[in-house]
A and B are shown apart, each in its own frame.
Chain A
Amino acid sequence: SQQGEEDPQALSIQEGENATMNCSYKTSINNLQWYRQNSGRGLVHLILIRSNEREKHSGRLRVTLDTSKKSSSLLITASRAADTASYFCALNSGGYQKVTFGTGTKLQVIP
């Protein structure tokens, strides 16, 4: 099963700035999901985008999907210190809703 590659691996920004992280993959997908993980904690589901969708919004989050380039991006606008966490993309390519996680981006938002 494929694993998504995320970049950057780490990102440090000032509060109020926007944060963009990218996820690239190699084979076709059914959907792509983004999760957040605070240090030492479980994962929180942020947003799911299906292969036939190009863009989705949820609050300050904007996700895009380009299946021709096999890439997705997560944009967090007007970042807050509480957004500090690791962000993972997760690819669903097969049955039983099995997903494989990307390498993750560690975001630090400086107050």
Chain B
Amino acid sequence: GAVVSQHPSRVICKSGTSVKIECRSLDFQATTMFWYRQFPKQSLMLMATSNEGSKATYEQGVEKDKFLINHASLTLSTLTVTSAHPEDSSFYICSARESSGGLPDTQYFGPGTRLTVL
């Protein structure tokens, strides 16, 4: 089946630093990837839709300048949390949809990245 990886799986950083999270589709091409954030014991909230070769589409309330998304290739999207603060501590999960073939309407999720900002 389709596999999505995320790196790193866990990161601890100091307040004010920037953190980059990578999301890769390992055995398929994905023109569209999605970034979610999940706070403890809560559901996943969609942050943005990442489109290969174009600007990401952000959900209402998500700061574009704080959460920079780059989808430079059909297999890689990156989320950079700039000037991270403790309130940004969360579980970040990406998902990808196959560009062609595969099961339609199905997203494949990465294992998630646990961000802790001290």
A51 vs B94: C-alpha distance when bound (angstroms): 25
Q: What sequence of 0s and 1s flags, for each residue 86-118 of chain B, a beta carbon within 8 Å of any chain A beta carbon?
A: 000001010101000001011111111010000
A3 touching B43, Cβ below 8 Å: yes
What residue in chain A is nearest B51 (Cβ atoms)?
A: A96
A99 touching B107, Cβ below 8 Å: yes
B46 interface residue per 8 A CB criterion: yes
B106 touching A45, Cβ below 8 Å: yes
Number of chain B interface residues as a range: 20 to 34
Q: In the complex, which of the residues A42, A43, A92, A98 has the most CB atoms of chain B within 10 Å of its own CB atom? A: A42
A82 interface residue per 8 A CB criterion: no
B78 interface residue per 8 A CB criterion: no
A40 touching B112, Cβ below 8 Å: yes
Q: A41 with B105: in contact, given A96-B32, A104-B43 (CB under 8 Å)?
A: no
A88 touching B43, Cβ below 8 Å: yes
Q: What sequence of 0s and 1s flags, for each residue 67-103 of chain A, a beta carbon within 8 Å of any chain B beta carbon?
A: 0000000000000000000001000100011111111
Instruction: Give A32 Cβ to nearest chain B Cβ, in Å.
Output: 10
A97 touching B43, Cβ below 8 Å: no
A11 interface residue per 8 A CB criterion: no
Tell me which residues across on chain B come within 8 A of A35, comparing CB atoms.
Answer: 109
B110 touching A48, Cβ below 8 Å: no
A20 interface residue per 8 A CB criterion: no
B112 touching A42, Cβ below 8 Å: yes
Tell which of A1, A42, A96, A103 touches B109, judged by Cβ atoms closer than 8 Å: A42
Which residues of B from 34 to 63 have beta carbons under 8 Å from A? Answer: 34, 36, 42-46, 49, 59
A96 vs B12: C-alpha distance when bound (angstroms): 33
B93 touching A43, Cβ below 8 Å: yes
A31 interface residue per 8 A CB criterion: yes
Residues of B within 8 A of A (CB): 4, 6, 32, 34, 36, 42-46, 49, 59, 91, 93, 95, 97, 103, 105-112, 114
Closest CB pairs A-B (n = 3): A42-B111, A43-B109, A101-B44
